[in-house]
Amino acid sequence: MHKSMDQIPKHDRPREKLLAKGAGALTDQELLAVLLGKGTPQMDVMTLAAKVARIMDEKGLDVRISDLKSLAGIGQAKAALVLAAMEYARRRIKPEGLKISTPADVLPLIRHFADRKQEHFLSITINGANEVLNVRVVSIGLVDRSPVHPREVFADALGDRASGIIVAHNHPSGSLEPSDSDLDATSQLRQAGKILGIELLDHIVFNRSAYYSFLESGQI
């Protein structure tokens, strides 16, 4: 359950927290709350920010004005501000497309999911020039268990015309030891990728400080 702004001590409110500790100290939801400024009479800004974060997790760089405006409380002005901030950052982080040398190079793009209390299963689509096309949340599961099906993972990869895909998920417990379901999912995705002509490049399990790579461990 999300706390309303009135329930958050003043020094921990997003704008005050940013001014005191820097933008890096804020969660995704808090950063969006700063951008949105305020909510509506029916919805606190933190609740609204959580709804926007969910859409952006699912869509990645493909998020559109219409996606944001589908939420009550998001009009043209707020939707435009969020998308403008996202594009401004994208141009400076990867103006020509972020190239990766090893699958672990995608960690800076997904590390912020390590703080999520539920397991988030992510797909990172890659083109033939080893550039990242998009990062999306495929599924959100229970703590330490995120069911995922190949059709969910490869649907967007096909749309992106990706040549390869990296999958990753956070372990809220902190442990990096792959579970039996992680091993099974990796095997299924690898076989599905062969059929579709989209190579599974790696499966990364990560927490706040470290990661486990199936590729580096010789399991792919």
Question: Tell me, what's the pLDDT at 145?
Answer: 53
Chain center to CA of 124:
9
Q: Which long-range contacts (CB under 8 A, 24 or more apart) does 83-89 make?
A: 85/35, 86/56, 86/61
Nearest one of 90, 92, 66, 91 to 80, comparing CA atoms: 66
Question: Is residue 82 over pLDDT 80?
Answer: yes
How, if at all, do strands 199-206 and 120-126 pair?
unpaired
> Percentage of the chain surpassing pLDDT 90?
45
Question: Tell me, what's the pLDDT at 95?
Answer: 47
Question: Using alpha carbons only, what angle is made at residue 128 by residues 126 and 134, rounded to the nearest 5 degrees?
Answer: 20
Which residues are within 8 A (CB) of 29 and not within 5 positions of it... i.e. 6 or more apart? 2, 46, 49, 50, 53
Tell me the per-residue pLDDT of 157-198, one tens digit each, with 9 for 90 and over: 999 999 999 999 998 877 898 888 889 889 999 999 999 999
Question: Tell me, what's the pLDDT at 210?
Answer: 92
Structure tokens at 150: 């190949």
Question: Tell me, what's the pLDDT at 2?
Answer: 56
Question: Is residue 96 over pLDDT 60?
Answer: no
- Mean pLDDT calculated for residue range 1-15: 68
Q: Which of 72-81, 91-100, 168-177 has the highest mean pLDDT?
A: 72-81
What confidence category does residue 55 fall into, taking pLDDT thresholds of 50, 70 and 90?
very high
pTM: 0.73
Between 49 and 86, residue with greater pLDDT:
49
How far apart CA 107 and CA 116 sit, in angstroms, is 15
124 to 52, 94, 109, 118, 164: CA distances (angstroms): 20, 15, 9, 19, 9
Task: Out of 8-12, 61-65, 67-71, 157-161, pick the least confident.
Answer: 8-12
Question: Is residue 87 over pLDDT 60?
Answer: yes
Question: Is residue 48 over pLDDT 60?
Answer: yes
Tell me the per-residue pLDDT of 109-150, one tens digit each, with 9 for 90 and over: 898 888 888 889 999 999 999 999 989 999 887 545 556 788
- Mean pLDDT calculated for residue range 48-56: 91
Question: Tell me, what's the pLDDT at 146?
Answer: 52
Q: Which of 11-25, 59-73, 157-171 has the highest mean pLDDT?
A: 157-171
- Mean pLDDT calculated for residue range 80-96: 78
Structure tokens at 40: 């509506």
